[in-house]
Chains A and B, each alone.
Chain A
Amino acid sequence: EVQLVESGGGLVKPGGSLRLSCGASGFSFSSYTMNWVRQAPGKGLEWVASIRSSSSYIYYADSVKGRFTISRDNSKNSLYLQMSSLRAEDTAVYFCARVWDVFYYMDVWGKGTTVTVSS
């Protein structure tokens, strides 16, 4: 079964750091571009970051550039999001998603992990 499972969410104080992980199974993880997408409480979807299969290209939304770092370990079938200098507005459910590199849509999603930034 094709599956993505996020972990690492939690409560963190403003200015703090957190590392999210996303474990992949059931498909050739190393062949796919992967995304992080977030959803603030009661709000819509926001793309956060993207990493190509070989980590050759990495991109960030302006809202997180310079504070978040996306990475992957293809030997461990894992995707990561290192978040630092966290702000209240980073509070959200964070989803990892697989990208189908033909029309660049996200065809497999994890269930999400919740990050709450609050003092």
Chain B
Amino acid sequence: DIQMTQSPSSLSASVGDTVTITCRTSQSISNYLNWYQQEPGKAPQVLIYAASSLQTGVPRRFNATGSGAEFTLTISNLQPGDFATYYCQQSFTPPHYDFGQGTKLEI
């Protein structure tokens, strides 16, 4: 299995702030890295696929970069609906989809 390490595990921020979440993998996965947002009590939804491609309908405040074994998700101009938990997920070895442990973004 590919080990996924997200940091930080939690993060406090305010509306209007910019935050960055990092995801590191135990081996190179090229750009097969996806980011999901999960609001409390809801299903996850994909924000970013292929490391940096914005899913349709996702605001451009969400930006992601990276390749190989290190990836980042940056959220700028935080809005109230952005306070959620974020997961990275590798899809380099389908169908084994390893997820990071999550980063909880709190006010």
Binding site for B on A (CB under 8 A): 33, 35, 37, 44-47, 50, 57, 59, 61, 95, 99-100, 103-107, 109-112
Contacts and interface: CB of A to CB of B under 8 A. Distances in A.
Q: Which of A37, A57, A95 has the most CB of B within 10 A?
A: A37
Given A46-B99, A61-B96, A106-B44, 19 more contacts: A33-B95, A45-B87, A45-B102, A47-B99, A57-B95, A59-B95, A95-B44, A99-B95, A103-B32, A103-B49, A103-B50, A103-B91, A105-B91, A106-B36, A106-B89, A107-B46, A107-B55, A109-B44, A111-B42
* Range of interface residues on B (Cβ < 8 Å): 20 to 34
Q: Which of B31, B42, B46 has the most CB of A within 10 A?
A: B46
Nearest to B31: A103
Given A103-B49, A107-B55, A35 B43 contact: no
B97 A112 contact: no
Interface of B: 31-32, 34, 36, 38, 42-46, 49-50, 53, 55, 87, 89, 91, 94-102
B32 A104 contact: yes
A29 B95 CA distance: 18
A94 B54 CA distance: 26
Contacts, number: 69
A44 B102 contact: yes
Contacts of B44: 37, 45, 95, 106, 109
A80 B55 CA distance: 27
Contacts of B99: 44-47
A95 B43 contact: yes
Nearest to A50: B95
Contacts of B38: 45
A106 B91 CA distance: 10
By Cβ-Cβ distance, the 7 closest A-B pairs, closest first, are: A104-B91, A50-B95, A109-B43, A47-B97, A105-B34, A104-B94, A105-B49
B104 to A, nearest CB: 10
Contact of A111 (B43, B91, B94, B96): B43
